[in-house]
């Protein structure tokens, strides 16, 4: 009974954080991590024994990742007017990831004396923008900026996971390796289109009062089976979300002729609502649990602080260059490069024999907190500037009206 009451209170507080985030400009993830950490301190103070919850973190993280990428892709518009934005966000997701990964790998190899493969495997988790933190934090930006962040962070998740699996699960890198990798991409694209048709058909044809939960379970099942065979499963999530979120753009395809688009669009709207609420629930639980598992000594570990500051510095230098090359507005996009859920999941996926001593939980936590804090300050400053500009415009209008 006590556990149920505690969960309900914590999730209601998490909902309060989400409601007030647009006004406070504090990313809800920081508040969730703090809340989880305070719960841990309370259990220690009152000598409350709880079971080890470490093993549940990857499970929650995987489900959260699927739902977050699905939620983001469902909101994206897919038409000719978005081609330029998609190109910019794709380059923004891919180039900094590659450059930062190889730069960090070189530094880890140089200072730690590790193999370049192990160094690169440990470097990749720091190179992925967290859609779990970025997407909810940019709700108050302009539609163009918000779409850029959704595309960029979702694609960064996908590129990061694909790149990590390619490096981590291959012992050698020759023409055969790259050939199999390209074949995996082709296979998952085919699976994505077939699964999208099947799931769209189910969404359109199921008359039972329970229809969305089986579809979500099938999505998770396809994702997990694809992962077993080391296929880039997030591509399937992105393709499915983009397809059913842009039905009007795909109505000329033959397999849509048997569907009633008016009814299907209504079902898709309901499906979106379910995904949004499920995403909030899983994301809140994940960051609460991660905050609970954080040790105070890991946050203030001075041994890793120099590395964490150096990594964060590199992240934002590369982001500055990327935005200039893409001719995107610096403010507030420069500050939106948080690390989070994917960083944690990839770090937990590194096998013990491939781990690098310099890359530990302290370093991961410090980089996540620093990038989230920089994003918070950047969004706050930008919001104040925007508010002052709007107030100035209102004053000018009022003066003009008085003169008339």
Q: What is the pLDDT of residue 308?
A: 95
Kindly indicate the confidence band of residue 321, based on its pLDDT and cuts at 50, 70 and 90.
very high
Of residues 3 and 94, the one with the higher pLDDT is 94
**Angle in degrees, CA 227, 235, 365, rounded to 5:** 70
Considering only CA atoms, which of 155, 229, 234 is closest in space to residue 189?
234
2-403 fold: Na+/H+ antiporter like fold (1.20.1530)
pTM: 0.86
Q: How far apart are CA 219 and CA 57, in angstroms?
A: 20
Considering only CA atoms, which of 90, 153, 125, 108 is closest in space to residue 333?
153
Q: What is the pLDDT of residue 390?
A: 65
**Angle in degrees, CA 169, 60, 201, rounded to 5:** 85
- Mean pLDDT value of segment 48-55: 82
Q: How far apart are CA 260 and CA 104, in angstroms?
A: 51
Q: How far apart are CA 10 and CA 339, in angstroms?
A: 23
Q: How far apart are CA 61 and CA 8, in angstroms?
A: 20
Residues 6+ apart with CB under 8 A from 149: 134, 135, 138, 141, 333, 336
Give Dmax over CA atoms of the chain in angstroms. 77
Q: How far apart are CA 6 and CA 385, in angstroms?
A: 40
Q: What is the pLDDT of residue 389?
A: 66
pLDDT digits (tens, 9 = 90+) for 271-296: 899 998 998 999 899 999 999 988 88
List the chain domain ranges.
2-403
């Amino acid at each position: 009974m006590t556990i149920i009451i505690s969960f309900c209170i914590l999730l209601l507080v998490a909902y309060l954080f989400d409601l007030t985030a647009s006004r406070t400009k504090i990313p809800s993830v920081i508040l969730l991590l703090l809340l989880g950490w305070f719960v841990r301190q309370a259990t220690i103070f009152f000598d409350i024994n709880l079971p080890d919850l470490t093993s549940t973190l990857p499970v929650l993280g995987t489900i959260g990742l699927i739902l977050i990428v699905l939620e983001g892709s469902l909101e994206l518009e897919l038409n000719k007017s978005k081609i330029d934005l998609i190109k910019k966000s794709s380059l923004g997701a891919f180039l900094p990831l590659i450059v930062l990964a190889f730069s960090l790998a070189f530094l880890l190899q140089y200072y730690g004396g590790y193999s370049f493969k192990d160094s690169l495997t440990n470097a990749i988790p720091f190179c992925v923008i967290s859609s779990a933190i970025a997407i909810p934090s940019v709700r108050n930006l302009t539609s163009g900026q918000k779409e850029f962040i959704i595309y960029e962070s979702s694609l960064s998740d996908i590129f990061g996971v694909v790149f990590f699996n390619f490096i981590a699960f291959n012992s050698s890198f020759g023409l055969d390796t790259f050939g199999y990798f390209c074949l995996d991409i082709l296979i998952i694209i085919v699976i994505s289109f077939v699964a999208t048709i099947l799931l769209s058909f189910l969404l359109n044809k199921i008359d039972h009062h329970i229809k969305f939960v089986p579809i979500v379970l099938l999505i998770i099942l396809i994702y997990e089976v694809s992962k077993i065979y080391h296929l880039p499963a997030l591509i399937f999530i992105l393709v499915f979300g983009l397809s059913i979120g842009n039905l009007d753009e795909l109505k000329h395809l033959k397999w849509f002729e048997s569907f009633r688009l008016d009814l299907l669009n209504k079902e898709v709207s309901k499906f979106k609502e379910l995904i949004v609420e499920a995403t909030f629930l899983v994301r809140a639980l994940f960051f609460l649990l991660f905050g609970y598992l954080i040790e105070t000594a890991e946050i203030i570990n001075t041994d890793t602080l120099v590395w964490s500051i150096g990594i964060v510095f590199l992240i934002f230098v590369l982001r500055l260059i990327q935005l200039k090359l893409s001719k995107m507005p610096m403010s507030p996009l420069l500050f939106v490069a948080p690390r989070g859920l994917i960083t944690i999941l990839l770090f937990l996926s590194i096998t013990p024999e491939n781990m690098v001593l310099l890359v530990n939980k302290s370093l991961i936590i410090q980089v996540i907190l620093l990038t989230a804090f920089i994003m918070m300050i950047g969004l706050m400053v930008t919001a104040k500037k925007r508010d002052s500009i709007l107030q100035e415009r209102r004053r000018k209008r009022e003066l003009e009206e008085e003169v008339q």
